[in-house]
Amino acid sequence: MPVLATVATSGWVLGPRIRVRVSENGFPSFLPKEVERIRDPAARELAKRIERLPVKVSFTNSPIMSSCVKPSQKRGKEPIVLLHGFDSSCLEWRYTLPLLDDAGLETWAVDILGWGFSDLEMFPPSNVAAKREHLFQLWRLYIQRPMVLVGPSLGAAVAIDFAANHPEEVSKLVLIDASIYAEGTGTMTKLPRALAYAGVFVLKSIPLRFYANTLAFNKVSLGSALDWTNVGRLHCLLPWWEDTTVDFMVSGGYNVSSQIKQIKQKSLIIWGEDDRIIRSTNALRLQKDLQNSVLHQIPECGHIPHVEKPKSVAESILEFLQGDHS
């Protein structure tokens, strides 16, 4: 079934469950207005596909209107579910998701609870257990088949935690420049909340985000770095972002190193050889620790291969899946 069934002259989009107001340029009205400033055509197009689905969880009275990009159509094959990294959104997949779509895969891009563009006005908890339950309930309501779960950076920790707790719902794993050996959020758990809020305020600043971009990518032009900074911090402009991020940071975060050897699913590890955030030596360590895994290293690539080398990432995922079915 197409994601968007009807576009009325009033500007309302009628989906299978909800109605979403769209702007004159086609962006969902729940996105921050600063989305209009983004120049990257791929980011703009993917932003137009973001929608919110109601997800009922045990820790809120009302369903959480949860942001994601749905597949253009269900194709009967095992679905691919793309997560994102720490404090990011599904817009990370602006280059790679269309390639997976074009290859005939049923591809979802899902915002992890606490980040992305979900409606969190009720300020739900954003700790590890809440993120896990939210992803499970979204899977149960809408995906409903064992999935290939793809996690980049901290999203790899989210994926490992989920697969360890819900092994039957995950058919395979793809881990990209995985941040899985860190011991949670460290000293942030002991900070007074006022100091935690001060740190989080800095986290969304343009200078810090721009500097992070220069570290994350092997080669990026000044213009791209500036525009990608706007893409990467767009979700930070939602009114609940600071509260949900502080809640995650003081909760302790992810510590999944003990869960890695529990993973039985066939796994693909993708790593940028020039990653300056998490050294590529960790790729070899993960391959050793993760049974039934294969490693694909991408030359001349930094920490976010699905942005910097989307064709290589898409081809690696396709080869991994095709090899399993050959």
pLDDT of res. 310: 98
pLDDT of res. 166: 98
Told to judge if 58 belongs to the known catalytic residues of this protein, a careful annotator would answer no
pLDDT of res. 74: 77
Q: Is residue 8 part of a domain?
A: no
Instruction: Say which of 84, 134, 235, 303 is annotated catalytic.
Output: 303
Whether residue 68 contacts residue 53, with contact meaning beta carbons closer than 8 Å, is answered with yes
Instruction: Say which of 161, 247, 274, 275 is annotated catalytic.
Output: 275
pLDDT of res. 200: 87
pTM for the structure as a whole: 0.91
Q: Is residue 22 part of a domain?
A: no
Quote the strand ranges of 72-160, DSSP E. 80-82, 107-110, 147-152
Q: Is residue 295 part of a domain?
A: yes
Q: Is residue 251 part of a domain?
A: yes
Q: How many domains does the chain have?
A: 1
Range of the domain at 247: 33-323
Distance CA 256, CA 20 (A): 37
Told to judge if 153 belongs to the known catalytic residues of this protein, a careful annotator would answer yes
Instruction: Say which of 66, 89, 153, 312 is annotated catalytic.
Output: 153
CATH number at residue 127: 3.40.50.1820
pLDDT of res. 1: 27
The pLDDT profile of the chain, 326 residues, written as one tens digit per residue, is: 223 222 222 333 334 455 566 766 899 999 999 999 999 999 999 999 999 999 999 999 999 999 999 998 777 689 999 999 999 999 999 999 999 999 999 999 999 999 999 999 999 999 999 999 999 999 999 999 999 999 999 999 999 999 999 999 999 999 999 999 988 877 777 778 888 888 888 888 999 989 988 899 988 888 898 999 999 999 999 999 999 999 999 999 999 999 999 999 999 999 999 999 999 899 999 999 999 999 999 999 999 999 999 999 999 999 999 986 44
pLDDT of res. 13: 39
Q: Is residue 265 part of a domain?
A: yes
Q: Is residue 150 part of a domain?
A: yes
Please give the DSSP secondary-structure letter assigned to residue 219: S
Query: How many whole angstroms from its chain centre is CA 52?
Result: 15
Q: Is residue 283 part of a domain?
A: yes
